[in-house]
Amino acid sequence: MILVALASLPFLFLAARRPVLRRLALRNAARRPRETALVILGSLLGTAIITGSLVVGDTLDASLSQGAVTRLGPIDELITAADGAERDELAASLQALDAESDLIDGVLALDVVTAAVSSVGGDDTTARAEPSATVVETDFDAARSFGGDPAATGIEGDTPAPGQAAVGEDLAEALALGAGDQMTLYAYGDQVELRVERILPQRGVAGFAQGFGTASPTLFVAPGTLATLNAEAPVGSVPPAALVAVSNRGGPLEGSELTEAVTTAITEHLGAPVPGLAPAKADLLAAAEDVGAEFTELFGSIGFFSVLAGVLLLVNIFVMLAQERKSEMGMLRAVGLRRTGLIGSFSLEGWMYALISAFLGALAGIGVGRVVAGVAANIFGGEEQALELAFAADPASIQTGFSLGFAISLVTVVLTSLSIARVNVIRAIRDLPEPPQMRTRTRWLVAGALAMAAGGAWAASGIPADDPYATMAGPVLVLAGAVALASRLLPRRFLVSMAATGALVWATVVFGLLPAAFEGVEIPIFVVQGIILTAAAVALVTQNQEILGAGLRRLGGGRSMAVRLGLAYPLARRFRTGMILAMYSLVMFTLVFIVVLSNLFSSQIEDFTADVAGGFDLQVSSNATFPVPPDEVRRRDDTVAVAALADADAQFATPRTAGEFENWFVTGIDEVFVDQGPSGLGDLGSYPDADAAYRDVLADPGLVIVSDFFLQGGGGPPEESLDPGEKISLRDPVSGRTRDLTIAAIADSSFGNAGAFVSIDSLVDLYGPRVAPNRLLIALEEGADPETVAVELNAAYLASGADAESFRSLVETNLAGQTQFFRLMQGYLAIGLVVGIAGLGVVMVRAVRERRRQIGVLRALGYPSAAVRRAFMVESAFVAAEGIAIGTALALVTSWQIVGTDTFGDDLPFAVPWLEVALLVAVTFMVSLLATAAPAQQASRIRPAVALRLAD
């Protein structure tokens, strides 16, 4: 905001000290209120897009960060002990630290398991189940005093007695439980009936839940309940986690700032590194911030096209304003106004527009962000665990959106003012056209030489280093410089056409030509590619409009005056046409690209299912405390094979993480998984086939198979993926034991196998009894219906928290989410379309005004009013159709090229959703025509005598 104030100072000075300029600016702004409104609309959309993307990030960050209050409260660090005895020892030691240190204000012992619970159905109620509830044992008095603020813990009443439960409000709502109701807890193959004593708020310790999300399906039981259930647990069950929670001094949010100091203090106090120590709240807040930032980047990047369209609209409008006011400008210069004064007058007017549009845009952006975040939360949360949205618009984000929008508008209008204030006084007064530039100015030659040198140097240094931006844009900069440099030697049209064609070809094929540079690229490179492609295509078309126009005129038979006149203006006014073409092309490029990409995934259900499923039909996940027994499932008549996999939280360090361990998960695989035909491999490394690679992993505990998406987050193609042969480290987050692994091969990118595959024996060896085969992959007899089997398994293994789903259903759900997300992006990008269409509308409104006299002449010569209307419609239709065609063609070529280079996944077959593309094109075209219908009608109503009288 300070920058905004500083940037505004010169304009405020002008307004205060130069009354003539102030009067000019104010009266010109008030002169055409409708067009002023369109200018402000065009530029406010850019600010709205920027602010919207920031607010999306804020909202997702806040929604996930609220878990710090609702799911952790005073808990800042969690230490997982090997067992209860070790935990008690740790807790006692840390109590001593609590007493002597200013850093922490509470230590609390917890026993936790994930287990299935159900309500007990009566005559008028139906039993409901939650397969993965967090079951906690702790002392309520200790929990209430933990952290020094009883309210923040959410803990109320006494510790539940045996047979009693205190249920968190999330779980109570899911199971429709109230105080006095009965419920059943299933764990370790046993079950216990509980009476609900009270419902606890979703806050602090009472809302305790681990992992990422916003829900807290939490239940508190009497101490000893879990130990009793675990006493006769089947072999392979994971015992309760014995945790020590530590509260840092300060409130639930401020406390996390002490995390580093507390971690150090604990380590020093215990005299050795604590392997199971996890900065739970700092991790949660960091992850929330990361997700928010990723979404801000994603929406900010794709929204950049729309922002750019808004900039083009502003430039176009200001150039048109200057043309309209040309004789006034000449007169002002003639009576003594200096060029700087003219710039000042225009800039002052633009500053007012920028200020108002930035303010309104920031407000609109809050609404945009809210809508986008709401839809995104539903998509990512799914129906069952929809993200509880905490709408947040950080004042800093709104200020940033306002400032950026203001800066973009202001820079645009000031630069445009500098250019348009360069008028010849006499030519301006007499409204004579500028003479054609016969010879390129020396400064352009110098600029061309500099651009060539800079582009060449950038490309020469960047291409060998696999810098994607230098590879993409360096050669294009060389071509652009060459046009200016050679413009005294060769015809401009030839030069621009050649350079534009070169840039088009380069930006399209460079992904395939130099794939190494684009491995693991981020979204902004696609923005750069889109801008290069669009600019080149628009330049090519603009320079060769006559050829297109002649062809169209021939098609029209040369007789249609409406076609002839409608084409004449856009062909003659190249700058104006080029700007609108660029607006349309940019927006259509991104929209069609997203449509094609969306279809690319959604049309591949069969292939994805086969890819993810391997030789299996469905999978069953269950609680590690009492996993679904594989042997029981094997005994079913309809099963052919059952692979027992173990999923566990893990930490990995790779050459890409600079030695830092990052959270991911690991999957232990067994022989059946390999026998039955696992999911495919994208990079076989040194193996002849997938089977050999998987068998080697089974045999060698030092090998691992990871996927393209290993350690990846957010959207877009994978970044910085690893290669076979690279070394990574796997760490058990509880024991801290580490194992070095070599990547054997890379699995196909897909959500079903995103864990790192090691042999289950190797995993048990590293993790001990804390891993169990909690995910079964099942191959069925031919003819058996996976959906039916899934329903049967869920019913049969409720006590294990079974969650069975066919692979096809899993893929469908996942793709449905992706498709919705693409729809959301389309909706977001459609804001840019509004900019483009508004731009066309503004241009046509102004065209009617500036051609008033010509329309009068035409009418005088016998041109029917309907033909005037038709001519305007032909004109807007031509420009819109060209822009739509350029954007659509570029999007199709680019998506085809990118799919061919496997950027978004291996062997994706390219297919165009023609119906959807046609619909998008038709709707855009029709709306464009509608936007120009009013000015066209206005033009047709111009009475010749009035127009001529005003003119003469």
The CB-side HSE value for 409 (13 A sphere, CA atoms) comes to: 35
Nearer to another protein, 265 or 858 (CB): 858
Decide whether 454 or 568 has the Cβ nearer to another protein. 568
Say which DSSP state 434 is in: P
x/- letters, 471..490, toward another protein (CB under 8 A): --------------------
State residue 136 phi and psi, 5-degree precision: -125, 140
In the complex, least distance from residue 866 CB atom to another protein, rounded to whole angstroms: 8
- Closer to another protein by CB, 593 or 863: give it: 863
Amino acid residing at 607: D
Residue 949 makes contact with another protein by CB under 8 A: yes
Length of the chain: 952
Return d(Cα 428, Cα 422) in angstroms, integer: 10
Q: Are 487 and 444 in contact (CB under 8 A)?
A: yes
Place of tokens 């350029």: 886
Q: Which two tokens stand for residue 431?
A: 């409204």
Applying CB under 8 A, which of residues 4, 82, 127, 857 lies at the interface with another protein?
857
Residue 943 engages another protein in binding (rule: CB under 8 A)? yes
Q: Which of 235, 559, 914, 915 binds another protein (CB under 8 A)?
A: 559
Nearer to another protein, 567 or 645 (CB): 567
Look up residue 617 and give its DSSP letter.
S
> In the set 470, 535, 565, 672, which binds another protein (CB under 8 A)?
565
Sequence-separated (6 or more) residues with CB below 8 Å from residue 839: 42, 309, 312, 313, 316, 317, 579, 580, 583
227 binds another protein (CB under 8 A): no
Cβ 901 to another protein, closest distance in Å? 44
> Can you tell me the distance from the alpha carbon of 9 to that of 347, in angstroms, rounded to the nearest whole number?
13
Token digits for 450?
């500099």
Residue 372 interacts with another protein (CB under 8 A): yes or no: no
Does residue 864 interact with another protein by CB under 8 A?
yes
Select the residue interacting with another protein from 235, 465, 861, 915 (CB under 8 A): 861
423 binds another protein (CB under 8 A): no
Q: Does 326 bind another protein (CB under 8 A)?
A: no
Q: Does 433 bind another protein (CB under 8 A)?
A: yes
- Compare residues 17 and 559 and give the one whose CB is closer to another protein: 559
User: Nearest distance from residue 323's CB to another protein, in Å?
Assistant: 12
The angle subtended at Cα 583 by Cα 437 and Cα 877, nearest 5°, is 90
Total residues at interface with another protein (CB under 8 A): 34
As measured in angstroms, the least distance from the Cβ of 875 to another protein is 11
Decide if 305 contacts 527 (C-beta within 8 A): yes
**Shortest gap between Cβ of 857 and another protein (angstroms)?**
4
Per-residue binding letters, 815-854, with another protein (x by CB under 8 A): --------------------------------------xx
Q: Which of 233, 91, 135, 109 lies closest to 770, judged by CA?
A: 233
Stretch that binds another protein, among 32-40, 472-480, 772-780, 859-867 (CB under 8 A): 859-867
Residue 745 CB: number of other CB atoms within 10 A? 25
- Which range in 333-341, 482-490, 563-571, 713-721 contacts another protein by CB under 8 A? 563-571
The answer to whether 176 contacts another protein (rule: CB under 8 A) is no
| Residue 681 in tokens | 């491999």
Closest separation between CB of residue 867 and another protein, Å? 8
Question: Is residue 944 a contact point for another protein (CB under 8 A)?
Answer: yes
How far are the Cα atoms of 67, 259, 288, 866 from residue 283, in angstroms, in the given order? 11, 10, 8, 68
Q: How far is CA 90 from the centre of its chain?
A: 42
Which among 4-12, 118-126, 410-418, 937-945 is the span making contact with another protein, rule CB under 8 A?
937-945
Among 738, 742, 865, 901, which residue sits at the site for another protein (rule: CB under 8 A)? Answer: 865
What token pair was written down for 8?
A: 């505004």
Backbone angles phi, psi at 646, to 5 degrees: -120, 120
What is d(CA 191, CA 193) in angstroms, rounded to the nearest whole number? Answer: 7
Rounded to a whole number of angstroms, the minimum distance from the CB of residue 952 to another protein is 5
Q: Is 856 in the site for another protein (CB under 8 A)?
A: yes
Task: Supply the minimum distance, in Å, between the C-beta of residue 585 and another protein.
Answer: 23
Which residues does 794 contact at the CB level (< 8 Å), separation at least 6? Answer: 802, 803, 804
Cα–Cα distance, 855 to 865 (Å, whole number): 9
For residues 16-41, b (16+ Cβ closer than 10 Å) or e, as one string? eebeebbebbeebbeebeebbebbbb
The torsion defined by the Cα of 458, 460, 463 and 465, in degrees rounded to 10, comes to -90
Number of H helices, E strands in the chain: 33, 19
- With contact defined as beta carbons under 8 Å apart, do 635 and 774 qualify? no
Assess 574 for contact with another protein (CB under 8 A). Answer: no
Question: Token digits for 576?
Answer: 């104006």
Please, what is the minimum distance in Å from the beta carbon of residue 561 to another protein?
Answer: 6
- Which residue, 206 or 871, has its beta carbon nearer to another protein? 871
**Residue from the set 271, 659, 783, 862 that interacts with another protein by CB under 8 A:** 862
User: Among 583, 858, 898, 920, which residue sits at the site for another protein (rule: CB under 8 A)?
Assistant: 858
| Region of 71-79, 731-739, 884-892, 941-949 interacting with another protein (CB under 8 A) | 941-949
Minimum distance of another protein from residue 487's CB (angstroms):
21
Q: Which C-beta is closer to another protein: that of 271 or that of 435? A: 435
Q: Which of 117, 152, 157 is nearest to 138 (CA)?
A: 157
Based on the shown chain and the rule CB under 8 A, indicate whether residue 946 belongs to the binding site for another protein.
yes
CA 396 to each of CA 39, 60, 254, 588: distance values in angstroms, whole numbers, following the listed order: 26, 16, 19, 32
Binding site for another protein (CB under 8 A): 432-433, 557-559, 561, 564-565, 568-569, 571-573, 853-854, 856-866, 943-946, 948-949, 951-952
